[in-house]
Amino acid sequence: MTVADPSVRDEEITAFFAADPATIAWPYPMYQRWRQGSGVVRWHGGPATLITRYADVKDVMAGKYPIRQNAYRFGELAEGTISRLPVEQHEVFFKVLDFESHFLSRKEGQEHQRLRRIAARAFTARRMELLRESVQAHVDDLIAEMQGEAQPDIKRDLANKLPVRVIVDLIGVPQSDRELIWEWSEAVGRLFSLDEKSLREADEAIDAFRDYVGHTVEKVRRTGEGPELAKAMLDSREEEVMTEDELVAMYLLILFGGSETTTNLLGNGFLALQTHRDQWDLLREHPELVAGAMDELMRYDSPHHYLPRVVAEDFELHGTRFTAGQTAIIVMGAANRDEAKFDDPDRLDVTRANKREHLSLAFGAHHCLGAALARLEGDVVFSTLLRRFPDARLLDDQPAYAGSAMLRAIQSLPTDLGTPAR
C-alpha cells in the first residue's frame, strides 16, 4: 500500500479547513506534501479523505468513481459538522443545506442535465460576447473611481466590485441593489466554514435573497415582464422550465459562483503578475496573449481550491479503501501544481502549452457554467490595466488573506498605478 508523506499532520489540515489566515495564505508547500506517495490523505478531524493528485482529481470529476455531489448535506463530513454545532443550530443547518440541495452543482444525472440545459440559456456564447461592452464600461468606471482614491487598491476598488456589477447585469436586477447583493454573496461565501456564526449569516442572506428573487418571479409570472434571465428560465413555451425554488437557487448560485470566484481570479492574478514581473512585461508587450493567460493564472493560484464529495459505493484508490458515506475532498489547488502533469508547476508561465488543462473550473458534467464569463472579465481587466497602467507597481506583495479555505481571498492590494499611458 502506498501512503502519504508522514510529515502531513492532521493539525495542519484542520487549520487549513478552519481558514487559519497563516495556513491559507500560501498553501502550496503544504499541498506538495499532501501529493507525496499516493496523494490520498486521511483527515481525521473532518472526518474526510483528501484526493490531491491531478489524474485522480480529474478522474473523480469525470465520474470514474462512485462519488456523488452533495457532501455538505450527506456523509461523514456533514455528520461531523452537525456534531460540532450547538443543538439549537441543527434546524438552521438542515434548512440551509436542504435549500442548497437545489443548486445545480449539487445535482446528479438527469436532474442535473435538465437544470444545466435551462441554465445554459443564460450563458450562450452570443450572450457572453454581448456582455463585453458592458464589462469594459464597468472596468473604465471603476478605474476612474480608483484614480480618485488617495491610495488606489486593485482588490478593494476593482476586483471586489466588478464581478457583482457584471452579475447584476446578467441576472437583470438594478445596479442600485449591487451593494446589498454583494453582502448576501459574502455571507453565503463564508458558509463554507460551516461554523455557528457563518451558518446563521448565510441563513439570513438566503432568506433575504429568496424574497428578493421571489418578487422578480411573481412579476414575470403575472406580467411576462422582467429580467431576460428569469423569463428564459420560467418560459412556459419551453419544454423544460424551473420551479420557483430552483430559480432562486440558480440565481444565488450564479451570483455566488460568478462573483466570489472571479473576484479571486482578479486579485490572485494581479498579485501573481506583479510578483512575476517578467510575465507582466510579456503581456504588456504581447497583448494578444492576455486572454489565454487567464488559464495560467487560474492554474497557478486557484480561485477555488477544493470540492467535497460523498462516496456512494465502496471502492479502492491507490491502496486506500473508500466506503459508502465517507467524504472525499478533491483538492484542485493541489492538483493544479502536480509535477506529474505540469512541468515546473510552481513557476508562472503564461505561455505554458497545457495551461488550459487546469481543474479550477472543474471538468466533465460539472464543468463551470460561467467559465466563459470569468475568462471574459479577466481578459478585459488585465488588458485594460496593462494598456493604461503599464508601470503599475504593487506596494505590498505579502497580502493578508481571509474567507474560507475553499475561496481564500486577498484582502487588499494597494498599488501605485504609475503614470498612465498616453
Contact 250, 119 (CB under 8 A): yes
Residue 194 in this model has a pLDDT that exceeds 70: no
Please tell me the predicted confidence (pLDDT) of residue 188. Answer: 74
Please tell me the predicted confidence (pLDDT) of residue 242. Answer: 76
246 vs 313, which has greater pLDDT?
Answer: 313
Mean pLDDT of 267-282: 98
Contact 37, 3 (CB under 8 A): yes
Please tell me the predicted confidence (pLDDT) of residue 2. Answer: 40
Please tell me the predicted confidence (pLDDT) of residue 3. Answer: 46
Residue 91 in this model has a pLDDT that exceeds 60: yes
Residues 6+ apart with CB under 8 A from 167: 181, 254, 255, 258, 259
Please tell me the predicted confidence (pLDDT) of residue 60. Answer: 97
Please tell me the predicted confidence (pLDDT) of residue 386. Answer: 98
177 vs 36, which has greater pLDDT?
Answer: 36
Residues 311, 312, 314, 315: what is their CA dihedral angle, to the nearest 10 degrees? -60
Residues making up the chain, counted from first to last: 422
- Pairwise CA distance, residues 27 & 50, whole Å: 14
Mean pLDDT of 192-211: 78
> Which of these, 162, 150, 117, 108, lies nearest to 373 by C-alpha position?
162
Instruction: Write the DSSP assignment of 241-290 as a string of letters.
Output: ---HHHHHHHHHHHHHHHHHHHHHHHHHHHHHHHHSHHHHHHHHH-GGGH
Residues 148, 154, 155, 158: what is their CA dihedral angle, to the nearest 10 degrees? 60
User: What are the backbone dihedrals phi and psi of residue 399, each rounded to the nearest 5 degrees, phi first?
Assistant: -70, 160
* CA 277-283-288 angle, 5° bins: 170
Give pLDDT tens digits for 65-83.
Answer: 999 988 878 889 888 888 8
Comparing 195-199, 233-237, 314-318, which segment has the lowest mean pLDDT? 233-237
Specify the pairing of strand 327-331 against strand 409-410: unpaired
Contact 70, 310 (CB under 8 A): yes
Contact 328, 310 (CB under 8 A): yes
Q: How many CA atoms lie within 13 A of 263 on its CB side?
A: 29
For the whole model, what pTM was predicted? 0.90
Residue 23 in this model has a pLDDT that exceeds 70: yes
- CA 411 to each of CA 25, 75, 116, 270: distance values in angstroms, whole numbers, following the listed order: 11, 33, 33, 13
* Residue 262 CB neighbour total at 10 angstroms: 25
The helix or strand, by DSSP H or E, that contains position 207, with its residue range, turns out to be: helix 196-223
Residues 6+ apart with CB under 8 A from 150: none
112 vs 360, which has greater pLDDT?
Answer: 360
Please tell me the predicted confidence (pLDDT) of residue 111. Answer: 86
Percent of the chain with pLDDT over 70: 93
Please tell me the predicted confidence (pLDDT) of residue 4. Answer: 47
Please tell me the predicted confidence (pLDDT) of residue 253. Answer: 80
Confidence of residue 159 (pLDDT cuts 50, 70, 90): very high
Edge-to-edge, what's the strand order for the sheet holding 48-51? 40-43, 48-51, 327-331, 306-311, 67-68
Mean pLDDT of 412-418: 97
Average pLDDT, the chain: 88
- CA 88 to each of CA 83, 84, 204: distance values in angstroms, whole numbers, following the listed order: 12, 12, 16
Residues 6+ apart with CB under 8 A from 236: none
Contact 165, 138 (CB under 8 A): yes
Mean pLDDT of 20-33: 96
Give pLDDT tens digits for 216-262.
Answer: 777 777 877 766 667 766 665 556 777 777 878 888 788 777 788 89
- Pairwise CA distance, residues 324 & 311, whole Å: 5
- For residue 112, give the amino acid letter: H
Mean pLDDT of 263-278: 97
Cell numbers standing for residue 383? 488588458
Contact 216, 227 (CB under 8 A): yes
User: What are the backbone dihedrals phi and psi of residue 116, each rounded to the nearest 5 degrees, phi first?
Assistant: -70, -40
19 vs 196, which has greater pLDDT?
Answer: 19
Residue 280 in this model has a pLDDT that exceeds 90: yes
